[in-house]
Chain A
Amino acid sequence: MPRPERKTITFSIDGREVEAAEGTMLVDAAKLGDVEIPVFCYEPKLGAPVGACRMCLVEIEGIPKLQAGCATPVKDGMVVHTQTDKVREAQNSVVEFLLVNHPLDCPVCDKGGECPLQDISYGWGRGRSRMVEPKRHFEKPLALSPLIAIDRERCILCYRCVRFSQEVSEDYQLVLQERGAESFVATFDGHPYVAPFSGNIIELCPVGALTSQPYRFRARPWDIEQSGSVCNLCPGQCNVSYTVRDDRVLRVLGRDHAEVDDGWLCDRGRFAYQAMHVDERITSPMVRDGGVLREVTWERALEEASKALGRAKGGVGAIAGGSTTNEEGFLLQRMVRDALGSPHIDSRASGTLPVGLHAALSAPATQATVPDVEFAHAVLVLDTELVDDMPILDLRVRKGVRRNGLKLAVATSRPSSLDANAAAVARFAPGAGEAFVAALDAALAGGEVAALAAAAGAEEDAVRALADLLRGAGEDIVIVWGERLTHGERGAQAAQALLKVGSRLNPNPHPGAGLLEVPAGANSRGLREVGVLPGIGPGLTAADAGLDTPGIAAAAAAGDLPALYLLHTDPLRDLPDRATWEAALERASTVIAHGAFLTEGLRDYATVIFPTEPPAAKEGTLTHTDGRLQRMRQAIGHPGDSRAEWQVLAELSRRVGLDQQVLTAPMVFAQITAAVPFYAGITLDAIGGTGVRWPVTDAASAWPAGDGAPIALDAPAAAASPNGKLRVGTFRSVWAAPEVEASPALKFLAPKQRAELAPADAERLGIGHGERVLVGGVPAIAHLRTGTPEGSVFLEEGIEAAPAAAITDPLAEVTKA
């Protein structure tokens, strides 16, 4: 449903005339007149107000009883008072009631010093206690989960945490047990509250009832500083604030950005900060010496690396991982291209797209934004599992469906956690995205669907139902599509099919509708725009043709590329086709890597390792998938011997013969805006704390014209027919990340390889839930999941002990181990 338009009205509060949008809740409207109305339960992020705590009572002329300011929409001509005796009496009363059962824990409570209950008691309470009876008692603290401690005595029963679980993350685990004064917060079944977004309730709780287990008793508000940055763990790029004490990050809080994260964080972004300070982290440069990696001086490591690169010259293949900043990517591509004369550089996992397709897929005119997802008439989630690939967007889709009447269509291979919210769901065979989109295109055009649906391994009726839903929903349709759709050899054809469906659903490009990519890496879009693609330079200009990622692997495995430069990526962890990569890493005489942890590719093959600085030590820009340039700001010093990586790249570049003339990170950014025409005129100051969406700046006109949608699509590749075997699909869980394994608090969530099977397939194969199986030789635990399409098996990517990337065939045999 499109954003509602609201007219401006005038009302009076405490004698001030204030203008506000009609329908704004009084507590928010009051702020516009610099009047503060205290609240506990009101939190607009949670949806409609509940009016439970009664802290916000105000007097409105013409209404005899006091009204809850959080639940009263402001109207034209309303006369409101917040300073009368009656209001003050009510505020004093509510504070007193809330303290009836609240313990005097402040000296030992984590919330002390940053506690709304303290502040409001001080500001709006009577300042003395008349209650002499015993308060209620609970055993405390209890572990609500390994990440969250609950102290039920401190709870003021504001409902925030329960509403979050029920109405925002929709994990439906938290409830209020019992009733009245006996109420307490718990999970419905007494099991730990483990969910991808659980940590948000810590920040929501207005008292110290919910505290972070890893942060408990680590600091007091007067010991710490907050420092704003951006999370670089996934394409969500949530705005975060690091809590820093003595140069260590002790906590991560959200830094509400309505157009990026809506004020939430996922648990990976919230708790993986621990990985910044663990002993396993690489904090000094290393060189392989006599077969063993040893810590060495910077001089030695830079010398080794520059000599090896100098020897390899044109024979260098460079790959940048998704967390690489624009600055690092820009410096890397200049070094590789201009200093070493090698065109082989890529940031995509698999396969190239011609520049015209990149230009069309991200064209400003059809670029949907994150908030568009919430306000569209319909959203198609295509070939991506949001809770894993871009967790924060999952919440946005749920919000749209729940609060704005958004119609949701889901088309994926693997059952999606959004299925339950969708008005139409279609499944297709793993890897058959192209055929599926072609079938959808045919259904939208009223053409022949059956054959294409069969090629996609999809049900014709489901494709048609999806098409009907999208066609009939309204003019604002957003397609949220996963980058993996355009991976592989036929990625370009799949992209063309996607563009065609896109232009059918949005024949007249307009704001509020279009395409929104879920890229594979946090800064994939930025890396493409600053030129980290083979044959495509900064600003999508033409560059010398070079090998893409699979090409680099094959060439290195064949002995044609003596040097590999791996910036923030371990191919054995992150990339498909493990066998080729193993051969490539083995064969290359030089493997230079920037890494934070000694994952196996680095441990076994790297010849030089430069430490990856922790995200909180990083300075640089990222480009969000909807085109928003955001800044990562340095919050802590570089631990150990580590250095800023832009500096390392600049120094290395100088040593191999190209002085890039940069002395600071902002100087690199200035070079980027000079080289990328559609970033022209954007300054770091303008980006500031909230970012700048370049597609809405004047410079956007410099975006190159994209390939139009084709008239006719190629016949798509058909999904392999299982023939006794099963089709292999893979996915990357939100928890499959080295920083999860390295964070003591999150470690328990690090996934083990499991094979998701349809119960019918499992029965046919005689496999039971929880049994050990081999999928094409990869060991896994069988996980029977209803909804999994028959004929397919799904494995998790990024698991070191049982790598799904070892399987290269589209089909595999599943046997008992």
Chain B
Amino acid sequence: MLLPEDLDLSYDFDTMAKAGSMLGSGAIIVVDDTNKVVDVALKLAKFYKHESCGKCSPCREGTNWTVKMLQRIDEGVATPMDLDILSSVQDQIMGNCLCVLGDAMAMPLSSMVKKFRGEFEEHIELARTRNPYPDEVAA
């Protein structure tokens, strides 16, 4: 994920990789600041979970677990500690899969958590206050 200050970078594989993004197929998604980062992350993770073929375990289980974690964050059943697990799971996916589909989720998600940690934490706090049972994970 790139921030407004990164907009001046040149659009090639190496530069993008250095900036912590990935050129992939070359598509760019522009997200404006009216969106909540948690929504963007969840939408992205759901997309990859749905696209995962399920053959290799890091991608199959990693995308699936990531969605579950983000849903918890969204619903107010999480603590800021979960953000560490979330990013560690992204690290565990990256580079370990059979193809790059898993990486394509892990890269942006991990930079989202890094670059918008504050917004994530804020969301967690707010959502917890709205949730009458903030410590119970629904079975």
Contacts and interface: CB of A to CB of B under 8 A. Distances in A.
Task: Please say whether chains A and B are actual partners in one complex.
Answer: yes
Interface of A: 50-55, 57, 65-66, 68, 89-90, 92-94, 96-98, 100-101, 130-134, 156-157, 159, 176, 178-183
Contacts, number: 89
Contact of A157 (B51, B60, B68, B72): B60
Nearest to A97: B61
A158 to B, nearest CB: 9
B27 interface: no
Contacts of B62: 97
Contacts of A101: 61, 64
A199 B69 CA distance: 39
Contact of B57 (A54, A132, A134, A178): A54
Contacts of A52: 55-57, 98
Contacts of A156: 57
B52 A157 contact: no
Given A130-B85, A180-B51, A97 B137 contact: no
Given A133-B68, A180-B49, A98 B61 contact: yes
A51 B60 CA distance: 14
Contact of B60 (A65, A92, A181): A181
B24 interface: no
B138 A134 contact: yes
A94 B139 CA distance: 24
A181 B96 CA distance: 17
A179 B54 CA distance: 6
B97 A181 contact: no
Contact of B53 (A89, A133, A179): A179
A50 B55 contact: yes
B103 to A, nearest CB: 10
Contact of A100 (B51, B61, B96, B139): B61
A100 B98 contact: no
Contact of A159 (B50, B51, B55, B68): B55
B95 interface: yes
Contacts of A131: 65
B63 interface: yes
B108 interface: no
Interface string B29-59: 0000000000000000000011111111110
B98 A181 contact: no
20 contacts: A52-B55, A52-B56, A54-B56, A66-B96, A89-B92, A90-B92, A90-B96, A93-B92, A94-B58, A97-B61, A97-B92, A100-B61, A101-B64, A133-B69, A134-B139, A157-B54, A159-B55, A179-B52, A181-B49, A182-B54
Contact of B54 (A96, A134, A183): A183
A54 B63 CA distance: 15
B121 to A, nearest CB: 18
A57 B57 CA distance: 12
Contacts of B50: 180
B93 to A, nearest CB: 8
Contacts of A132: 137
A133 B65 contact: yes
B64 A181 contact: yes
B133 to A, nearest CB: 14
Contacts of A89: 92
B95 A66 contact: yes
Interface residues of B, number: 29
A97 B62 CA distance: 7
B60 A94 contact: no
Contacts of A182: 54
A57 B54 contact: no
Contacts of A68: 98
B57 A98 contact: yes
A50 B137 CA distance: 36
Contacts of B137: 132-134
Nearest to A132: B137
Given A134-B139, A179-B52, A180-B64, A53 B57 contact: yes
**By CB atoms of chain A within 10 A, which of B62, B93, B97 has the most?**
B62
Contacts of B53: 179-180
A93 B54 CA distance: 16
A70 B46 CA distance: 31
B62 to A, nearest CB: 6
Contacts of B51: 180
Interface string B86-130: 000000110111100000000000000000000000000000000
A658 to B, nearest CB: 67
A450 to B, nearest CB: 55
A94 B57 contact: yes
A460 to B, nearest CB: 49
Given A52-B98, A54-B56, 8 more contacts: A54-B58, A54-B98, A94-B58, A97-B60, A130-B85, A180-B51, A181-B54, A181-B60
Contacts of B54: 157, 176, 178-183
Contact of A180 (B52, B92, B95): B52
A472 B139 CA distance: 65
Contacts of A92: 92
Ranked nearest first, the 10 interchain pairs of A and B with the lowest CB-CB distance are A93-B92, A181-B64, A97-B61, A180-B52, A133-B68, A183-B54, A180-B54, A100-B61, A97-B57, A134-B139
A181 B57 contact: no
Nearest to B92: A93
A181 B61 contact: yes
**By CB atoms of chain B within 10 A, which of A54, A57, A89, A131 has the most?**
A54
B52 to A, nearest CB: 4
A207 to B, nearest CB: 13
B79 to A, nearest CB: 11
Contacts of A54: 56-58, 96-98
A93 B102 CA distance: 14
A133 B61 contact: no
**By CB atoms of chain B within 10 A, which of A50, A68, A131 has the most?**
A131
A607 to B, nearest CB: 65
A65 B92 contact: no
A52 B54 CA distance: 9
Nearest to A65: B95
A142 B51 CA distance: 28
Contacts of B92: 89-90, 92-93, 96-97
